[in-house]
Structure 1
Amino acid sequence: MSVPSSPASSARPPEGFTPTGTIAAHTDRRRVVFATVVGTTVEWYDFFIYAQAAGLVFGALFFAPAGEDFAQIVAFLSVGLSFLFRPLGAFLAGHLGDRYGRRMVLMITLVLMGAATTLVGLLPTYAAIGVAAPILLLFLRILQGISAGGEWGGAVLMAVEHAPKHKRGLFGASPQIGVPLGMLLASGVMAIMTVVAPGDQFLEWGWRVPFLLSIVLILVGHYVRRRVEESPVFAEIAERREHTRMPIVQLFRRHLLLVVIAALVFAGNNAVGYMTTGGYIQGYATNPEGPIGLERGPVLWAAAAASVVWLASTWFAGWVSDRIGRRTTYVIGWIVLLPAIFALFPLVSLASVGTLTLALCLLAVGLGLTYGPQAALYAELFPASIRFSGVSISYAIGAILGGAFAPTIAQAIVQTTGSTTGVTWYLTGMVLLGLIATLLLRDRSGIPLGPDHEAEQAVSPLVGARRG
């Protein structure tokens, strides 16, 4: 017997009863929000400290044989390498998540990411073991990419599928703010280590500490996630035994164009975001032989300050998308990002920590507006039976097209032209691509997410597509 789906029902279920196919209990919702924030913060802390280290030390410690001109490019390439393996993580996690549940996947990805990150902190450098050092570093970065590819889809679906219909944007913003929180934590810990281990000590051992701290964070995240119930949408699918046997095959057979468009939406945001999360601006501003030459510590604190602004704008964007729609919120965000991109390098080039902070904070506002609604937007695009696969693979492809090699491209442009102008136009093009992709999607805010409405969910949300 099915339970009425109205959230306004005054009937109180018996103690210990979990309502299948209905909105989760208020207490469990709060636990889910907390768990997704903590879990994604830990995951992205792990992911971003690698990018920070790539911008600051990995070129010298692991890739020095590439030569002075190319060591830093190779270091940034190692950041992008992990993105190529995100689709593998998304494929695996999507299949497992649609077949066996969101919760199980989240536990696996958390442990995999933490183990890889901790081992990076223990790696000998090139000077100690030669070419084996960069090979092992790249292998661990690949494991991080596989984990990141599977993490995001599970986290956002746990949040959105537990949410009341009119608060999906706000609930979906909870795993999203784990990204700026992870960036804040990574930048803060790295900045502290520049004080604890200044100068050569940072190169010798200081950079390792943030990686080794990951083991503590993983234990905390694992404890929190174990206490969260499975998504009510998946619980209902499991109860009915309506799992899709090959969800990825069904996804590409019926929704390939939608996956591509959704990926392009994220690519525009991700390319701009990886100017900081990918470590490019930090490396550019601290390069002693470059035009700026700022100290590591203040630059890292500037990135941390921008992460706070990014967090606030991401949360606000999720909240406001419940009121004005996901599509409208995105369009506003793209418009805000354009002037921020053109202001970025002129402000950074003033070689002041204050103007650097201002530039990154301006960028963070637009990044939050085009990131906060993403969880709800993606969840509302795909049918329940293949939703994990749809959101994970769209996200992974968008990350490859956007942020994967954005720092490498920026570094190559500057080294080739001697100017940052080309980087500005590259980022502008990515934002315009994201805007166009957004305009190709209908707003489906509030569409029912449960398996009872699979036919409605399967209707294409692309503008111009037949609606039934």
Structure 2
Amino acid sequence: MASTEEVLHSHRLSWSDGKTLSLSALGGALEFYDFVIFVYFANVVGSLFFPTDMPEWLRQVQTYGIFAAGYLARPLGGIIMAHFGDLLGRKRMFMLSIFLMAVPTTLIGLMPTYASIGIWAPLLLLMCRVLQGAAIGGEAPGAWVFVTEHVSKRHTGLACGTLSAGLVAGILIGSLVATGVHSVLSAEQIHQYGWRLPFLLGGVFGFITMYLRRWLHETPIFKAMQQSQELSEELPIKTVLKEYTPSVLVSMAVTWVLTAAIVVTILMTPSLLQKVAHLDPQTSLEANSVAIICLLVGCVVAGALADKFGNGPIMAIFSIGLAVSYSIFYRTMLHDTSLLFPMYAVVGFFVGVSGVVPAIAVKSFPAAIRFSGLSFSYNVAYAIFGGTTPMLVSALIREDVLAPSYYVSAVCVVGVLASFAVIRFRPRLELAASPI
């Protein structure tokens, strides 16, 4: 019987596998739309779900705090789903994650506001965000594991980059929907009912995704482990923490870069531009859509280059590119928005560092605990860094309007340092992560 290692090296991507990966990426895109649409209407939601006499800065911090609750719930949901994903199979968790996403997204679209039920409004909103966080905690790591176990090792970077582009497409859908709502409806109509439409649409997306995932098949690697009885004999997360600490630290470091890239430069920047550069919502969202399109390209390019030149060098190059491009872009926008679209497009391309991060993490853990190792590292880092970033940046910007660019640059330095660790210690990490 072929070993897991032999399967991993010999398996080639067939037409059937390509269809499976496409469905996985599409499903992930629709689920990510559900998770991020909140941030595109953060200003409106904040005005409707908190007292009208609350100071604007406090309302913004509390609104982003509820947004952050989704990130803080990710580790628990991710660890639980990863545990069963390592023991029972990758596919089953896909159905659970999308169900946990579709239901609360629909409920947000139907939820009464503070004017109707008072303090219960933000509390119910918080509960829905927690459920969404638990769902997304299993989605991204599960999708990356699912993809990489369908392709040969020499195509891991391209596979991760392509799937990351698919997941980011969900952000693009959110940006386009938000742009459409702002272009069709007046500000008064959006406050009255228009803000609900994207969430209700997200619920529909979620149930469509559940239907699409009926055609997904279990990965060849997991099937091989079942047949050869290579599944973890103890709690997968226990093995991760006991034997793979270096892999966890490296994965968490590169995930921090991913959080800064996505949360600050893509999700928060449209609202920031509206406040500090006084751009109208439609223009800022249109520019954001252009940046996300370039991000899709950047993810695929970064993944393909990582397969050819190594994950470490590409991680370093894209981290430096992101720090420089966003710093120049943000500083320029404060006094001149004439180059908004091309400059934001360049930033978006370097956010493609997101396509390299999962390839680094997925190679750091053996197949038997890969889902748990990746999920723990990714979700804990995202909870710590991604969850606190909106509140931190919102608070710091009161002291210095350039705070967002400083934060991104500082985290990109972490990315460069992590890339050195990948270059220096990668053979040792990959030896430790060889199939067991």
TM score, norm. by length of structure 2: 0.93
Post-superposition offset of 1:383? 1.0
Residue 324 of structure 2 is aligned to residue 339 of structure 1: yes
Alignment of 1:102-181 (within 5 A): 102-181=90-169
CA distance in 2, matches of 1:443, 1:113: 39
Closer, same or farther: CA 356–426 of 1 in aligned 2, 3 Å: same
RMSD: 2.5
Residue 344 of structure 2 is aligned to residue 360 of structure 1: yes
Residue 236 of structure 2 is aligned to residue 250 of structure 1: no
Q: Which ranges in structure 2 are unaligned for 5 or more consecutive residues?
A: none
Post-superposition offset of 1:360? 2.5
What does residue 31 of structure 2 align with? 43
Post-superposition offset of 1:293? 2.1
CA distance in 1, matches of 2:265, 2:113: 25
Q: Which ranges in structure 1 are unaligned for 5 or more consecutive residues?
A: 7-18, 459-468
CA distance in 2, matches of 1:381, 1:221: 30
- Of 404, 411, 420, 1:423 maps to 404
Contact 1:102 1:154 in 2 (8 A): yes
Moved more, 171-180 or 245-254: 171-180
Contact 1:36 1:155 in 2 (8 A): yes
CA distance in 2, matches of 1:347, 1:455: 45
Closer, same or farther: CA 96–444 of 1 in aligned 2, 3 Å: farther
Letter of the 2:289 partner, please give it. Answer: A
Post-superposition offset of 1:442? 4.1
Closer, same or farther: CA 20–356 of 1 in aligned 2, 3 Å: closer
Equivalent position SS for 1:293: coil
**Cα offsets for 1:46-80 (capped at 9, x unmatched):** 111011111x3122111235433310111111111
Post-superposition offset of 1:159? 0.7
Letter of the 1:404 partner, please give it. Answer: G
CA distance in 2, matches of 1:344, 1:25: 40
Contact 1:62 1:126 in 2 (8 A): yes
CA distance in 2, matches of 1:126, 1:277: 29
Alignment of 1:39-438 (within 5 A): 39-54=27-42, 56-64=43-51, 66-244=54-232, 245-278=234-267, 280-287=268-275, 291-350=276-335, 352=337, 354-368=338-352, 370-415=353-398, 417=399, 419-438=400-419
Closer, same or farther: CA 195–387 of 1 in aligned 2, 3 Å: same
Closer, same or farther: CA 83–4 of 1 in aligned 2, 3 Å: closer
Closer, same or farther: CA 399–5 of 1 in aligned 2, 3 Å: closer
Residue 15 of structure 2 is aligned to residue 32 of structure 1: no
CA distance in 1, matches of 2:270, 2:404: 15
Equivalent position SS for 1:213: helix
CA distance in 2, matches of 1:357, 1:136: 37
Higher Rg: 1
Letter of the 1:347 partner, please give it. Answer: T
Contact 2:364 2:433 in 1 (8 A): no
TM score, norm. by length of structure 1: 0.87
Closer, same or farther: CA 365–20 of 1 in aligned 2, 3 Å: closer
Equivalent position SS for 1:294: coil
Percent identity over the alignment is 28
Closer, same or farther: CA 316–446 of 1 in aligned 2, 3 Å: farther
**Cα offsets for 1:125-158 (capped at 9, x unmatched):** 1111111000000110111111111111110111
Post-superposition offset of 1:84? 1.1
Closer, same or farther: CA 275–313 of 1 in aligned 2, 3 Å: same
Contact 1:44 1:178 in 2 (8 A): no
CA distance in 2, matches of 1:400, 1:220: 28
Q: Which structure has greater helix proportion? A: 2
Closer, same or farther: CA 126–23 of 1 in aligned 2, 3 Å: same
**Cα offsets for 1:428-453 (capped at 9, x unmatched):** 2111112212211248999999xxx9
CA distance in 2, matches of 1:412, 1:366: 26
